[in-house]
Amino acid sequence: MSSKHPSSAQAGVIRALPEVVRNQIAAGEVIERPASIVKELMENSLDAGATHVQVDLEEGGSMLVRVIDDGVGMNGADLMMAFESHATSKLREAGDLDHISSLGFRGEALASIGSVARCAIYSRPRGDDIGLRIENEGGRIQDPVDAGGPRGTTIEIRDLFYNTPARRRFLKRPSTELSRCLEVVQRMALGHLNVGFVATHNGKRNYDIEASMDLPARIRRTFGAELSESLVPVEADDGMFKIFGYVAPPRFARRDSARQMWFLNGRMVKDKVLVRVLKEAYRGYLDPGRQPVAFLHLSMDPALVDVNVHPAKAEVRFREDRRVFAFLLNSLRSAVAQTDMATPGEGLLRKALNRDGYVHHPGQGAIHDPGYLPRPSEGRPITEIREVPGKPYVGGGSFPVYGRPASALSEGDNATVGGGHAGLGTDAVGAGLLTDGAVDTLPGPFLQIDKTYIVRALPDGFEVIDQHALHERITYEGLLREVQNGSVEVQRLLVPEVVEVSRAEKALLEEHKDALAKIGIEIEPFGETAVALQGMPSRLRHPDPMGLVRDVAEILATTGKSPTAADVIEEVLHSAACRSSVMAGDALTDDAIRSILQRGKQLENDQTCPHSRPTRVRFTLGDLERAFHRK
C-alpha cells in the first residue's frame, strides 16, 4: 500500500511501438474480416489490369483467401516492397491524390494483412519466364525465391488473425463470412465490366462471371432473371458527368441497401449524396424507409471528386455536388418513371393459395397430388362478383367496342389468345384480347369486383386494378400538371363558402393565401374565426369546400412553420385528389372504366397512387401455370 505506481520512478511509460504492432493496429481500420481482405486484394488485381480474377475461399475465408489474377505482376524488387506500409505503385506524390483513378492508393493493405495472417505472394510479370514467391508470417518477411506458375499474381492469405486471437473471436460463422466475401465479389463483378470473376469455396465453384458478360447478364447471374428482366436502363452524358446503369421497379425495393450499387469511376461507393439522389428519383413511387434497387456507374474526371475521405473509400466528396445532384436526378427520374410498377401476382397468388389450405411439400416435385390443387371456389369470401352491364355479346345496348366489331369477340378468341389457359371461371377474362399486339385499345370486357377492383384481360394474363388508386393518380397528375404550368383552372363559387376555422388556422391560411391561390384554392379572410372560399380547382370532381379548407389548414399546421409552396402543393394535391376521386364502392359502367384506364395510360406513371400504393396487380400466364402446376 506504500505506492500505487511502483514503476513510476523508472523509465518513461511512453514507448514507440514496433512496426508489426503498428501495422496490426492499422489493420484494424482496414482488415476487419475475410471480406475486407477479398476487397483489398481484388482491388489490387483490378488495378494491375487483370481481365480475370479468381477468388478461392476456405471456411468462409478465415482459413484461406486466395486471389489469382492475370494482371501485370511484380518483379523481385516490387515483392520486397509489397509488405512495407505506405508503399504503393499507384501514387508517387501528394499531387497525384487530386486525380486518383486506381482503386487503392494508400499502400496499407498488404502491410496490414501481412501483420495479422500468414501470407504468400507469387508473381510472374509480363515478359518474364519465371516467377517469384515471397512469404510473410505475421510480419516476418522472407526473401523471395524462384517459383513457376501462370502469368500474373496469386496472393494467399491463410489463418487470418492467428496472432491476434481477440480479433479472431469476432469472426462470425463461416457461412456468414462467406456470404460477405461473395457480396464483395459480386459488387466487383457488377462494377468492373470486361473482367471475368470466379469464386470458389472449399473447392466448390460458387460464382462465375465471364469477362464478356454485360451488366444485365451479370445482374441476372447475380440476382436472378426476374430482377434483371424488369430493369430499365439509364444513360446520360452531359460532357462533365456520365451515368450508365439500370434502375429496378419500386416493388424490388428492400429494407437494406444491399442491392443499391453506385460505382464511381469503377469504385464501389456508398455516398450519402448518391443515396439521396436515388431516393429523390423514386419519390412518390416508393414507401419511405425502403431502399430502391439500382446499379449505376458514374464516371467523371477524377479531379472532380475526392475519394480520400474515408479509410474504406466508401464515401467521396464531389467538387460540384449540386451539379452532380441535378444531373443525376434528371436522368434517374425519367428512367424510374418508365419502370413497370405493377406488383407481380406471384406472391399474392401464393398467399391466396395458402389461404385455401394449400400446403407446399418441398421435394415433391412440380406435379402434385390433385388433392392439393387449390379450389378457388371454396371458402373464399368473394363477396360479390358482378359483371358490368353491357358485355359485348349482349345484343343491343350502346356498348361501344373499340378496335373491332363485337362479333369478333367470340369464344374462338378465347382459345387462341389464352393459349388454352383462359379458363378462369368467367368468360369475361380471355375474351377480346389484343391479338394484334400493337396498341392496347382497352377492349374490355371488364369485371368489377366488390365495386372496388377492376379485372381486365391482357394478352399474357390479366390484371386487377384498384379503381380508387388509379383515379387518384389521374386527378393528382392533372392537378400537378396544371400547377406546374402555372395555370390552375379555378371554378369560382356563386356564394362564397364560409368555413369556420380556429384563430391559429386562420392565421396560417392567410399567411399562405398566395401559395394556395396558385393551386386554385382562393381564400379570403371572413371575420375572426372564419374564411370564405371564393374558388377551388375546377378539376375536383365532387368538391367538398368545407373539407378542402379544413384539409388545407390541417396540412399547413402539421407540415411545420414555414412550408414551401411546393410542399403545401404536393400535400394538398394529394388529399384533394383523394377526396375527389372515384371511391372504392362506386359501381362503374364499362365506359367509365375504359375512360379511367385510358386517362391513366396517358400519364407518365399510372402504376402507383400518389400515396405510392400500387394501382394494379398483374397476373401472368406464368403465374397461372405455376398455380395450376402446369409447369
Q: How many Cα neighbours within 13 Å face the side chain of 162?
A: 16
By CB under 8 A, tell whether 547 contacts another protein.
Answer: yes
SS3 449: strand
Q: Which residue has the cell 375474351?
A: 431
By CB under 8 A, tell whether 384 contacts another protein.
Answer: no
Query: Residue 455: enclosing H or E segment and its boundaries?
Result: strand 453-458
Cell of 72: 501485370
Q: Residue 550: which residues within 8 A CB-CB, separation 6 or more?
A: 499, 501
Minimum CB separation of residue 184 from another protein in Å reads 48
Q: Which of residues 147-166 bind another protein (CB under 8 A)?
A: none
Binding segment (CB under 8 A) for another protein, from list 385-393, 442-450, 477-485, 556-564 = 477-485
Nearer to another protein, 430 or 520 (CB): 520
Q: Which of 8, 10, 383, 485 binds another protein (CB under 8 A)?
A: 485
Minimum CB separation of residue 546 from another protein in Å reads 5
Q: Which of residues 592-611 bind another protein (CB under 8 A)?
A: 595, 599, 602
- The residues facing 262 across adjacent strands are 269, 296
Q: Which of 203, 495, 528, 560 binds another protein (CB under 8 A)?
A: 495
Q: Which of residues 526-545 bind another protein (CB under 8 A)?
A: 535, 538-539, 542-545
DSSP code per residue over 256-283 = S-TTEEEEETTEEE--HHHHHHHHHHTT
* Closest to 47 in 3D by CA, of 76, 90, 92: 90
E strands, 50-150, where?
52-58, 64-69, 118-124, 131-137, 140-141, 145-147
Give how many residues touch another protein by CB under 8 A: 32
**Phi, psi (rounded to 5 degrees) for 201:** -135, 125
Nearer to another protein, 416 or 491 (CB): 491
By CB under 8 A, tell whether 517 contacts another protein.
Answer: yes
By CB under 8 A, tell whether 73 contacts another protein.
Answer: no
* Closest to 292 in 3D by CA, of 303, 284, 302, 301: 284
Minimum CB separation of residue 186 from another protein in Å reads 43
Binding segment (CB under 8 A) for another protein, from list 225-233, 247-255, 514-522, 564-572 = 514-522
Integer angstrom CA distances of residue 95 from 98, 308, 340, 585, 595: 6, 13, 47, 69, 64
Nearer to another protein, 42 or 578 (CB): 578
Query: Residue 461: enclosing H or E segment and its boundaries?
Result: strand 461-466
Binding segment (CB under 8 A) for another protein, from list 50-58, 228-236, 370-378, 484-492 = 484-492
Integer angstrom CA distances of residue 293 from 83, 179, 350: 39, 19, 24
Q: How far apart are CA 32 and CA 61, in angstroms?
A: 12
Minimum CB separation of residue 175 from another protein in Å reads 54
Contact 565, 518 (CB under 8 A): yes
Q: Which of 482, 551, 571, 590 binds another protein (CB under 8 A)?
A: 482
Nearer to another protein, 421 or 518 (CB): 518
Burial 423-434 (b: 16+ CB within 10 A, else e): ebeebbbbbbbb
Nearer to another protein, 113 or 531 (CB): 531
Minimum CB separation of residue 580 from another protein in Å reads 9
Q: Which of 546, 566, 584, 587 binds another protein (CB under 8 A)?
A: 546
By CB under 8 A, tell whether 37 contacts another protein.
Answer: no
Minimum CB separation of residue 537 from another protein in Å reads 10
Q: Which of 142, 179, 435, 491 binds another protein (CB under 8 A)?
A: 491
**Contact positions toward another protein, by CB under 8 A?**
474-475, 478, 481-482, 485-495, 497, 517-518, 520, 535, 538-539, 542-547, 595, 599, 602
